[in-house]
């Protein structure tokens, strides 16, 4: 077919060269160049947002490459709203001119996790044809979250700890709950889950019993990715049958779709399941330390989900992490497990005796030291306070002098006052309530606001004179602090 196309071009060129006018030849060559350029890539292609890279700011850029035959582009998005499990489609904008690029304010859109949102570009061609381009698996992590935390106690014996304060898993409207205790030692991370469910009984159909149990998801490195990766440890311990490991792999397909493929592998870890009619079930499950790493990580990402029956015998989920189905299954939302240090002594009586003796000795030493240092405390506090006051005055003077210098960094301050940058940042945060970067941005924005109100200078000149690298950087920071754009602020606050 390619040879036929080249032969046709050759014959056409020969016929055009035989003519006396060069205008048809020039027109033909231009047509061939345009079509050859378009043939090098598809007629429609998403440029932004890019896959695998989560959007972490409240602004999301949508843009597509479109060939010359495309007349208009209508951008749409399919996402899951707050506390909902059903997605909805909204229209973001309709562009009739190139470039087909749109800035979308996603402040009111919740984080999109596990499967992400879908971007749609509906293209209308010159001939009236409509074609829709999809880009799935766009993850939004622009809203900060506060994951739950739990401290894991050390267990000397190879048994499951049931003495510490438990994690409580509940759900509104369900007359069921689960208590979870987690302990650790050098050999394993041990889970004890006690589920209270008065509607549970062991003669349920096997198909339903297989779906009842506990799912334990562990992010060993606490990476908090919005999507599931192959290195996540996911274990399902059903009420009947053996536990198994879920190996999930996130994958983008050539057509722009996103999918999570799951495979299952039986695991032979130490476990025990006991069930009691109309009361519930208890699960003990130990994840070997060899799986988690040696030594065990001090912080683990984790979520625990148990399944129970409601009054209509429908299976429901109780999760440590709260939220919809997509939130509770995303590593980005996992809670944090902190491994407590191993106790110095295992015998509590011996530990108490040593503590008592140590307390007496420390008490006598403390009294003696108190008497010796009491007279110096007031002077020391005064000198320290006076020293820090001088430091903060020097720091603020340096910041005021260099605030419009876009190359100004905290290292410049540290060099001038001979202190580490981390120490300088702590002093600024203690006295100004903000880190150096936020304090610098806030101060520059205050200058920008004043110049917007009182002058007719362009945004470019204001950005450069206030220490910003570009107008885009100034507009981004200005919007973050004021909730509006420089243009709108000037229109609303101009001094006449």
Q: Name the CATH superfamily for 44-140.
A: Immunoglobulins (2.60.40.10)
Residue with tokens 């910041």: 399
| CB-based contact 180:167 (threshold 8 Å) | yes
Residue 335 pLDDT class (50, 70, 90 cuts): very high
Among 306, 311, 316, which Cα is nearest to 179's? 306
Residue 55 pLDDT class (50, 70, 90 cuts): very high
So what's the pLDDT on residue 356? Answer: 80
So what's the pLDDT on residue 223? Answer: 92
Report long-range pairs for 418-426 (Cβ below 8 Å, ≥24 apart).
Answer: 419/391, 424/395
CA pair distance 120, 73, nearest whole angstrom:
10
Q: Which residues pair with 214 in a beta bridge?
A: 237, 306
Over residues 56-85, mean pLDDT: 92
Residue 52 pLDDT class (50, 70, 90 cuts): confident
Class of domain 149-339: mainly beta
Among 334, 316, 90, which Cα is nearest to 219's? 334
The full 3-state SS of the chain, as one line of letters, equals CHHHHHHHHHHHHHHHHCCCCCHHHHHHHHHHHHHHHHHCCCCEEEEECCCCCCECCCEEEEEEEECCCEEEEEEEEEECCCCCCCCEEEEEEEECCCCCEEEEECCCCCCEEEEEEEEEEEEEECCCCEEEEEEEEEEECCCCCCCCEEEEEECCCCCCCCCCCCEEECCCCCCEEEEEEEEECCCEEEEEEEEEECCCCCCCCHHHHCCCEEEEEEECCCCCCCCCCCCCEEEEEECCCCCEEEEEEEEECCCCCEEEEEEEEECCCCEEEEEECCCEEEEEEEEEHHHHCCCCCCEEEEEEEEEEECCCCCEEEEECCCCCHHHHCCHHHCEEEEECCCCCCCCHHHHHHHHHHHHHHHHHHHHHHHHHHHHHHHHHHHHHHHHHHHHHHHHHHHHHHHCCCCCCCHHHHHHHHCCCHHHHHHHHHHHHCCCHHHHHHHHHHHHHHHHHHHCCCCHHHHHHHCCCCCHHHHHHHHHHHHCCCHHHHHHHHCCC
Percent pLDDT > 70 in the chain is 86
So what's the pLDDT on residue 343? Answer: 73
- Residue 378 in this model has a pLDDT that exceeds 70: no
The CATH number of domain 364-496 is 1.10.10.60: yes
- Residue 371 in this model has a pLDDT that exceeds 90: no
So what's the pLDDT on residue 465? Answer: 87
- Residue 341 in this model has a pLDDT that exceeds 50: yes
So what's the pLDDT on residue 30? Answer: 43
The most confident of the ranges 103-112, 337-346, 384-393 is 103-112
- Residue 466 in this model has a pLDDT that exceeds 60: yes
Classify the C-alpha dihedral 284-285-289-292 as positive or negative: negative
So what's the pLDDT on residue 377? Answer: 52
| CB-based contact 142:54 (threshold 8 Å) | no
Residue 57 pLDDT class (50, 70, 90 cuts): very high
Residue 164 pLDDT class (50, 70, 90 cuts): low
So what's the pLDDT on residue 392? Answer: 85
Structure tokens at 378: 């007031």
User: For the chain, which residues make up each domain, given as ranges?
Assistant: 2-39, 44-140, 149-339, 364-496
| pTM of model > 0.75 | no
CA pair distance 234, 228, nearest whole angstrom:
10
Same topology between domain 149-339 and domain 364-496:
no
pLDDT digits 0-9 by tens, 284-311: 999 999 999 888 899 999 999 999 999 8
Of residues 157 and 84, the one with the higher pLDDT is 84
pLDDT digits 0-9 by tens, 102-143: 999 999 999 999 999 999 999 999 999 999 999 999 999 999
């Amino acid at each position: 077919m390619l040879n036929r196309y080249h032969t046709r071009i050759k014959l056409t060129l020969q016929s055009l060269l035989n003519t006396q006018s060069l205008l048809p030849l020039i027109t033909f060559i231009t047509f061939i160049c345009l079509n050859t350029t378009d043939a090098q890539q598809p007629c429609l292609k998403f440029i932004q947002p890019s896959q695998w890279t989560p959007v972490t700011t409240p602004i999301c850029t949508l843009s597509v490459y479109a060939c010359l035959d495309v007349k208009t582009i209508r951008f749409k998005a399919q996402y899951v709203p707050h506390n909902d499990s059903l997605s909805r489609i909204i229209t973001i904008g309709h562009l009739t001119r190139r470039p087909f690029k749109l800035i979308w304010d996603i402040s009111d859109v919740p984080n999109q996790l596990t499967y992400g949102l879908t971007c749609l570009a509906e293209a209308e061609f010159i001939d009236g044809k409509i074609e829709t381009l999809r880009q799935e698996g766009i993850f939004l992590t622009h809203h900060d979250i506060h994951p739950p935390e739990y401290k894991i106690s050390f267990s000397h014996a190879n048994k499951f700890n049931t003495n510490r304060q438990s994690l409580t898993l509940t759900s509104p409207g369900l007359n069921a709950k689960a208590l979870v205790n987690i302990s650790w030692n050098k050999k394993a991370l041990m889970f004890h889950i006690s589920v209270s469910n008065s509607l549970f009984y062991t003669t349920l159909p096997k198909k339903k019993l297989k779906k009842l149990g506990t799912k334990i998801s562990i992010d060993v490195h606490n990476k908090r990715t919005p999507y599931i990766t192959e290195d996540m440890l996911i274990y399902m311990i059903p009420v009947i049958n053996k536990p198994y490991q879920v190996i999930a792999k996130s994958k983008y397909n050539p057509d722009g779709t996103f999918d999570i493929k799951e495979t299952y592998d039986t695991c032979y870890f130490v476990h025990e399941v006991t069930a009691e009619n109309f009361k519930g079930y208890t699960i003990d499950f130990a994840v070997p330390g060899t799986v988690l790493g040696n030594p065990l990580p001090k912080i683990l990402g984790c979520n625990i989900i148990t399944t129970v029956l409601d009054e209509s015998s429908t299976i429901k989920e109780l999760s440590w992490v709260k939220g919809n189905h997509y939130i509770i299954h995303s590593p980005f939302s996992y809670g944090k497990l902190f491994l407590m240090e191993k106790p110095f002594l295992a015998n509590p009586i011996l530990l108490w005796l040593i503590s008592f003796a140590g307390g007496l000795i420390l008490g006598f030493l403390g009294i003696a030291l108190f008497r010796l240092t009491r007279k110096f405390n007031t002077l020391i506090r005064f000198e320290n306070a006076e020293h820090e006051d001088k430091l903060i005055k020097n720091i603020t003077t340096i910041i005021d002098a260099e605030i419009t210098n876009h190359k100004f960094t905290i290292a410049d301050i540290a060099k001038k006052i001979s202190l580490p940058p981390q120490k300088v940042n702590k002093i600024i945060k203690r006295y100004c309530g903000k880190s150096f970067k936020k304090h610098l941005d806030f101060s520059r924005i205050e200058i920008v606001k004043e110049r917007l109100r009182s002058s007719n200078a362009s945004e470019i000149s204001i950005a450069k004179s206030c220490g910003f690298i570009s107008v885009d950087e100034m507009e981004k920071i200005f919007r973050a602090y004021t909730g509006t754009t420089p243009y709108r602020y000037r229109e609303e606050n101009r001094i006449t």
